[in-house]
Structure 1
Amino acid sequence: MDPSPEFCCLVCAIDLGTTLSGYAYADKRDYQYDPLNITVPNWIDPSSFTITKKTPTTLLLDKDRRFVAFGYEAKTTYDELEKKGKNVEYIFIPQFDFMFQDTLEMDMKIRDSTGTREILAIKVLTHAIKYFRKLMLNTINRKRLDVKETNIKWVLTFPAIWPDRVKQLMIEAAELAGIPKIKLTMAFESEVASIYCSRLPISGFVDRDNFGIHQIGQKFLVLDAADSTVDITVHEVANSRTLKVLEKARVLDCGDFCVDNYFKDILTDVVTSDVIEAFRLNHTNEYNNFMQEFQNKKRTTNTTKQTWVSMRMPESLPKVFEKLKNKSFKEELTDSKYCKSIKWDGDYLCISPALFEHFFVSARTSISDYVWDMLENPHMDGTDTIIMIGGFSGTPILQTYMKNRFSACRIVIPNDPELAVLKGGVLFGYNSYMMSERKAKYWYGIASVTKFNPKFHDNEKKNKDLCCDIFDICVQRGSILTVYEGHFKGPYETNRDDQNEMDLEIYVSDSDTPPMYVTDEKCHYLGSLTVDLPKNSKRNTRGVFVNFTFGGKEFFVRARINSNKVVMTGTFNFLENEP
Structure 2
Amino acid sequence: MAVHVAAIDFGTTYSGYAFSVSAPETDLKDVEILSNQIWNSGTAEVASLKTPTCLLLSKDRKISAFGYEAEEQYADIVLDGDTEDYYFFHRFKMNLHNNKNITMTMVLEDVRGQPLPAIDVFSLSIKALKDHLKSTVEIKNIKLDDRKTKWVLTVPAIWTDTAKQFMRKSAEKAGIPRDRLTIALEPESASIYCQTFPSAGCRDIVEIESRYMVVDLGGGTIDVTVHEKIPNGTLKEVTKASGMVVAGLRLMMHLSNFSFAYLADHF
**Structures share a fold, TM > 0.5?**
yes
Deviation at 1:140, TM superposition (A): 2.9
Tell me which of the two structures has the higher relative contact order, counting C-alpha pairs closer than 8 angstroms and 6 or more residues apart: 2
1:283 positional shift: 2.9
Specify the alignment match of 1:321 in structure 2. none
Paired residues for 1:158-307 under 5 Å: 158-202=155-199, 209-212=201-204, 214-253=206-245, 255=246, 258-260=247-249, 279-283=259-263
Matched letter for residue 108 of structure 1 = M
| 2:18 counterpart letter in structure 1 | A
Q: For residues 261 and 110 of structure 2, what CA distance do their matches in structure 1 show? A: 11
Question: Superposed, which structure 2 residues align to 1:484-563 within 5 Å?
Answer: none
Determine helix, strand or coil for the equivalent of 2:64: strand
Per-residue CA deviation, residues 222-250 of structure 1 (Å, 9 max, x unaligned), is 11111222111111111111001111221
Match for residue 412 of structure 1? Answer: none
Q: Measure, in 2, the Cα distance between the counterparts of 1:21 and 1:279.
A: 23
Contact 1:19–1:227 under 8 Å retained in 2: yes
Q: Partners in 2 of 1:8 and 1:179 — Cα distance?
A: 19
Q: How many residues align?
A: 262
Query: Which AA in structure 2 matches 1:64?
Result: D
Q: Distance between the aligned counterparts of 2:190 and 2:169, measured in 1?
A: 25
Question: Following TM superposition, by how much is the alpha carbon of 1:279 offset from its aligned partner in structure 2, in angstroms?
Answer: 4.1
Q: Which residue of 2 aligns with 1:114?
A: 112
Does residue 126 (structure 1) correspond to residue 126 (structure 2)? The answer is: no
Any idea what the Cα deviations from partners look like across 1:30-78, whole Å, max 9, x if unmatched? 9658546321111012222221011111111111222211111111111
Which residue in the other structure is 1:83 paired with?
79
Q: Distance in 1 between matches of 2:174 and 2:185?
A: 21
2:62 matched residue in structure 1: 66
Following superposition, the deviation at residue 277 of structure 1 comes to: 7.6
Cα separation, 2, equivalents of 1:277 and 1:118: 14
SS of the equivalent of 1:151 reads: coil
Cα distance in 1 for residues equivalent to 2:121 and 2:208: 43
Structure-2 separation of matches of 1:213 and 1:8: 31
Instruction: Quickly say closer, same or farther: Cα 1:9–1:47, change in 2 above 3 A.
Output: same
Aligned residues with identical type, % of pairs: 34
* Partner residue, 2:133: 136
**Which of residues 90, 99, 102 is equivalent to 1:94?**
90
Give secondary structure in 1 for the equivalent of 2:206. Answer: coil
**Gap regions ≥5 residues in structure 1:** 1-6, 204-208, 269-275, 285-315, 317-579
Q: Cα–Cα, structure 1 residues 63 and 156, in superposed 2: closer, same or farther, change >3 Å? A: same
Q: Following TM superposition, by how much is the alpha carbon of 1:81 offset from its aligned partner in structure 2, in angstroms?
A: 1.0
* Per-residue deviation, 1:216: 1.8
**8 Å contact kept, 1:60–1:90:** yes
Q: Calculate the TM-score normalised by the size of structure 2.
A: 0.88
Q: 1:144–1:279: structure 2 CA closer, same or farther, 3 Å change rule?
A: closer
TM-score (norm 1): 0.42
Q: Which amino acid aligns with 1:145?
A: I
- The answer to whether structure 1 residue 56 and structure 2 residue 36 are counterparts is no
Query: Any idea what SS the aligned residue of 2:237 has?
Result: strand
Please report how far the alpha carbon of residue 129 of structure 1 lies from its aligned counterpart in structure 2 after TM superposition. Answer: 1.2
SS in 2 for 1:179: coil
Q: Is the 8 A contact 2:41 2:69 kept in 1?
A: no
Aligned mates of 1:11, 1:283 — CA distance in 2: 42
Relative to structure 1, the CA distance from residue 40 to residue 61 in structure 2 (aligned partners, 3 Å threshold; closer, same or farther) is same
Compared with structure 1, are the counterparts of its residues 68 and 233 closer, same or farther at alpha carbon in structure 2 (3 Å cutoff)?
same
Identify if the C-alpha distance between structure 1 residues 166 and 8 changes in structure 2 by more than 3 Å, giving closer, same or farther.
Answer: farther
Q: Tell me the SS of whatever aligns to 2:129.
A: helix
Match of 1:12 among 3, 6, 10: 6
Residues 33 and 171 of structure 1: is their aligned pair in 2 closer, same or farther, counting only changes over 3 Å? closer
Contact 2:22-2:31 within 8 A present in 1 as well: no
Gaps of 5+ in 2: none
Distance 2:127 2:133 in 1: 10
Contact 2:13–2:220 under 8 Å retained in 1 = no
Q: What SS does the corresponding residue of 1:166 show, helix, strand or coil?
A: helix
